[in-house]
Amino acid sequence: KSNDSSNRLIVTSIQKMSNINPKHGIAQAEIDLIGKKRIVFIIDECHRSVFGDMLVSIKNTFPRAILFGFTGTPIFEQNAHKEITTETIFG
């Protein structure tokens, strides 16, 4: 455990993270400040997050973020939607 109050661990859902934008009342200056920070996202059940706009929104808001995705059922080329696989998103 860190004694430094600036070290934080925030646990949230991908749905809430995708709502971090000016349309939801958050100032663009705050979003820009957050986006400059060193952020790591650890995403469980990441195979569910490769479709739709939520992950795209998060990646656009936090371009410097590192993403770790965990899944027991990855999306491969043969069952990919729009040619997006778990590997293309998370490596």
Report domain extents, the chain: 14-90
pLDDT of residue 33: 87
Q: pLDDT of the chain along its 91 residues, tens only?
A: 567 777 777 788 777 777 787 888 888 898 888 888 888 888 888 777 656 677 777 888 888 888 888 888 888 888 777 777 878 777 7
Place of tokens 């410097």: 64
The residue whose two tokens read 């109050």 is 5
Q: Class assignment of domain 14-90?
A: alpha beta
> How far apart are alpha carbons 86 and 23 in whole angstroms?
29
CB 64 within 8 A of CB 81: no
